Amino acid sequence: MLTFFAIIIPIMKVRQAEKNDFHWISEVFKKEWTGEFIITRGKKHYPKDILGLIAEEGNKKVGLLTYEIVGDQLELTSLNSFKENQGIGSVLIKYLTVIAKNKGCKRIWVITENSNLKGLRFYQKRGFVLKAVYPNVLEQSRKIKPEIPKIDENGIPIRDEIELEYII
């Protein structure tokens, strides 16, 4: 006797963020990034001023990637996956790479901090390479955004910004 079974695989859709998404993106920034803006290399990034990609499964938002294009450089300013180890971040990065190529960008770069071991692993596995380390720069960032923690949940001091890049 044959046994049949069904596997249900949710279909993920990726789309550009629209104006009506800004409230949700602002809430993600507050919850995941400790405030109304993200700061990289001393620059504030507000949801209303940057571009975004949203991953959805059905009507549920499962991922967010924000970015900014300046000249021939694309800065990935934030990446959140709300279902871990499901390929959401990888799919968002692939879409971002296509956008960068279409816009004539020469590289994608991202800043993370020294204690983000998971993020460092994630980006390097997707072809990003270490470009620069900015020691103790988070002390300056805390003057702009005091809510940035000094120590992460694993007890690692949060001090340095690390720049990774992906050459197009």
The answer to whether the CB of 116 falls within 8 A of the CB of 124 is no
Domain containing residue 45: 12-167
DSSP H helices, the chain, are 22-32, 88-102, 117-125, 138-144
Looking at the 3D structure of the chain, how many domains does it have? 1
What is the pLDDT confidence band of residue 7, given thresholds at 50, 70 and 90? low
Tens of pLDDT, residues 66-114: 999 999 999 999 999 999 889 999 999 999 999 999 999 999 999 999 9
The answer to whether the CB of 13 falls within 8 A of the CB of 56 is yes
What's the CA gap between 109 and 96, in Å, rounded? 11
Query: Residue 161 domain-assigned?
Result: yes
Tens of pLDDT, residues 124-150: 999 999 999 999 999 999 999 999 999
DSSP H helices, 33-110, are 88-102
Query: Residue 6 domain-assigned?
Result: no
Query: Residue 5 domain-assigned?
Result: no
Query: Residue 3 domain-assigned?
Result: no
Query: Residue 125 domain-assigned?
Result: yes
Query: Residue 129 domain-assigned?
Result: yes
Query: Residue 4 domain-assigned?
Result: no
Tens of pLDDT, residues 21-74: 999 999 999 999 989 999 999 899 998 889 999 999 999 999 999 999 999 999
Query: Residue 82 domain-assigned?
Result: yes
Which CATH number does the domain housing residue 109 bear? 3.40.630.30
